[in-house]
Structure 1
Amino acid sequence: MLVGSIQEITRHPVKSFAGEQVQATKVMDYGLYGDRSHAFKDKQGKFITITQVPEMVRYQAFFSGEETLKAYPELKVKAPDGNILTWGEKAFLEEMDLLLRREAEAVVYPPSHIPFGAIEEENILLVSDASIAELTKLWGNEVDGRRFRHNVVLSLVNKTPFLEESWFGKRIIIGNDVVLEIKRHCERCMIITVDPGDSHKDPSLLKTVVKERNNHFGVYASVLRTGEIRLGDQVFLMD
């Protein structure tokens, strides 16, 4: 059954940095190609995220070049002042020292296989256009999708808010190749309170999600069959 199409694809090459919207990308065993492939760990070996450093969200990471399985394209980072930095270079490392304000190790997981990596939940996070529209009504403010750090936005045929939550345990096919299994709710945390534009915190959005949605927004999916997805691909729900 046709349930919708791909409206938006977003990957986050650096964990807790703003992501990049792409026209098409590979879907790997671990999720979107290069998603959360780069990260920072503290001296205890734990990932450093927006929870500890809200200003991380103001840095946007994006790949510059062709996707290959041998090596990532060059990774660029746009700083809040507009400067474009390159991962690993001196200027980038100096900027990260100022940003993180703590001892940190930069880690990179290979493109072909990330057995654990910095993806700490399921492989892919999906939301629907109808759910975003409904949350906008519930909150009373325009919802910036970047707060939710989703990978895929579905444009639904049936514009029922939160329809995707009825698909738990079912499979969807995207385009001709990719098969995902819809697993469970995404339980939200303080990260959605951080404005992606200026990193200021507003707890009212999280309070709304807790009150109106039992602290759930978006659904997690695991990858059953890899392939490539692109904007406009049709999405079918399997019986």
Structure 2
Amino acid sequence: MSAEVTSLWRHPIKSHGHEAVETVTLNPGQTMPGDRVWAIAHEASKADGSEWVPCANFSRGAKAPQLMAITAKLSGDTVALSHPQRPDLSFQPDTEQDAFLDWVKPLMPADRAASARIVRVPGRGMTDSDFPSVSLCNMASHRAVEQKLGKDLSIRRWRGNIWFNGLPLWEEFEWLGREVQIGQAVLHVRERITRCLATTANPDTGERDADTLAALNSWDHQDFGVYAEVIRGGEVKSGDTVQVL
């Protein structure tokens, strides 16, 4: 049984914006190019840019739902950010940190640790997984959550990289330990993705308006999508076939 890629997404700054792309070239052992290149360490964070650290060290949508309404566009070393409550910002995360910290401050809850610095770990994106992962998400599973909640939901809530259609809901969980070919690339599926409060926020408004976690828990789990590791590089684009090997 095969499926088809419906969309590709990257998130240049972890938890701070999403961007649709038409095609990507995946590389073995790496995240999607341009995905989670930077992350925003908060005041209490131990992240220093020397190595991967868990997501609790970073400002993120689970704690600050307004971050979910940021859109991003990556061009070279420049990121352009938009948010319904903020003026547009174009800056270089590696050299113009202060401009970003001023911009994002009004979006952060007063009772949370403030965003303090931009972190980049050379050679790997700051995925939630402790290995450089690409996340795979099933449109059938998304539609099942929509049906459970009785409302339309944007797929951007899930912050997935590669979306596909044509398989039964939760079929992706059967892929654990298996290899999947997507376009020219081959990925090894390693983990289910356990979800957090970030998915309850509307990516158009930044307001929490859907109990996605309760919907997931009605299936006796809180998971959506899977993390995979690229083991053979190659181009992936919308319309490509997704085939379990």
Q: 1:61 aligns with which of 63, 72, 84?
A: 72
Aligned-pair identity (%): 26
Determine the structure 2 residue equivalent to 1:226: 233
Pair 205,165 (structure 1): closer, same or farther in 2 beyond 3 Å: same
After TM superposition, the structure 1 = structure 2 runs for residues 86-101 of structure 1, keeping only pairs within 5 Å, are 86-88=90-92, 89=96, 91-100=99-108
Partner letter of residue 36 of structure 1? R
Q: Tell me if structure 2 keeps the 8 A contact 1:174–1:235.
A: yes
TM-score (norm 1): 0.84
Distance in 1 between residues matched to 2:206 and 2:99, nearest whole Å: 22
- TM-superposed CA distance for 1:73, in Å, is 4.2
**Aligned structure 1 segments of 4 or more residues deviating by more than 3 angstroms:** 88-93, 97-101
Q: 1:79 aligns with which of 75, 83, 103?
A: 83
Q: Tell me if structure 2 keeps the 8 A contact 1:138–1:212.
A: no
Partner letter of residue 196 of structure 2? C
> 1:123-173 CA deviation, whole Å, 9 max, x = no partner?
0111112222222222211121111111111122xx422112211111011
Q: Tell me if structure 1 keeps the 8 A contact 2:63–2:198.
A: no
Determine the structure 2 residue equivalent to 1:68: none
- TM-superposed CA distance for 1:175, in Å, is 1.6
Q: Is 1:106–2:118 an aligned residue pair?
A: yes
- TM-superposed CA distance for 1:83, in Å, is 3.5
- TM-superposed CA distance for 1:190, in Å, is 1.1
- Aligned to 1:212, the other structure's residue is in SS state coil
- TM-superposed CA distance for 1:93, in Å, is 3.9
> 1:87-140 CA deviation, whole Å, 9 max, x = no partner?
344654421233346251112344xx21xx421215011111222222222221
Pair 82,40 (structure 1): closer, same or farther in 2 beyond 3 Å: closer
Structure 1 unmatched ranges of 5 or more: 65-71
After TM superposition, the structure 1 = structure 2 runs for residues 81-160 of structure 1, keeping only pairs within 5 Å, are 81=85, 83-88=87-92, 89=96, 91-100=99-108, 102-110=114-122, 113-114=123-124, 117-121=125-129, 123-156=133-166, 159-160=167-168
After alignment, is 86-95 or 196-205 more displaced? 86-95
Q: Tell me if structure 2 keeps the 8 A contact 1:170–1:237.
A: yes
Partner letter of residue 35 of structure 1? D
Q: Tell me if structure 2 keeps the 8 A contact 1:18–1:146.
A: no
Partner letter of residue 206 of structure 2? S
Pair 52,131 (structure 1): closer, same or farther in 2 beyond 3 Å: closer
Q: Tell me if structure 2 keeps the 8 A contact 1:174–1:236.
A: yes
- Aligned to 2:242, the other structure's residue is in SS state strand
- Aligned to 1:37, the other structure's residue is in SS state coil
- Aligned to 1:200, the other structure's residue is in SS state coil
Q: Tell me if structure 1 keeps the 8 A contact 2:59–2:115.
A: no
Q: Is 1:169–2:177 an aligned residue pair?
A: yes
Q: Tell me if structure 1 keeps the 8 A contact 2:101–2:117.
A: no
Determine the structure 2 residue equivalent to 1:4: 3
